Amino acid sequence: MKRIQIMIPDAIEAARNNLVENGKIKNEFNGYISSFGASIISAGLLPSIIFYSQKGESAERNKIITSIEFILQKHGYPQDFNLLNRVKALYTGMTNQPEIDRLTDRIFDAAIALKLAIRTFPKLKKGQS
């Protein structure tokens, strides 16, 4: 839990930079981050990262990945860290399971911190401005 607590201020900054519009967060982001962890558990890390990295026609799921990358960069990962590229590289080699497990744990921590951070902002429902 301590690692998550340390990440929360950076998660708030990530949310403010990537998810906030006019001081509010779109309600969809709450759903995206809530289903992100379940997606990793049920589908696996690589498919989930690929899905959330894609910018859909109306979905902005990729902003969740951008926010998680920001948090991880603040906690020891390089400034040019790209989550999708790193996960693809790890799975291509499939020889470094401890590193995959460590990265997965950090992603879960960052996602939990982001989920908590999102709750600190008022929600912007569809049709509101």
Provide the β-strand partners of residue 118.
Answer: none
Model confidence at 24: pLDDT above 80: yes
Quick one: CATH architecture of 2-120?
Answer: Orthogonal Bundle (1.10)
| Sequence spans of domains, the chain | 2-120
Encoded tokens for 14: 């990530």
The model carries a pTM of: 0.92
pLDDT of residue 127: 63
Model confidence at 125: pLDDT above 80: no
Is 71 in contact with 81 (CB distance < 8 Å)? Answer: no
Helix (H, G, I), strand (E, B) or coil at 83: helix
Q: For a pLDDT cut of 90, what percent of the chain falls above it?
A: 77
Is 51 in contact with 83 (CB distance < 8 Å)? Answer: no
Residue 115 phi/psi, 5-degree rounding, is -60, -45
Over residues 39-94, the pLDDT tens digits come to: 999 999 999 999 999 987 777 999 999 999 999 999 999 999 999 999 999 888 76
Is 114 in contact with 68 (CB distance < 8 Å)? Answer: yes
pLDDT of residue 88: 92
pLDDT of residue 1: 66
Closest CA to 72 of 61, 86, 51, 56: 86
pLDDT of residue 75: 96
Q: How confident is the model at residue 128 (pLDDT cuts 50, 70, 90)?
A: low
Query: Counting beta carbons within 10 angstroms of the beta carbon of residue 95, is it exposed (0 to 12), middle (13 to 18) or buried (19 or more)?
Result: exposed
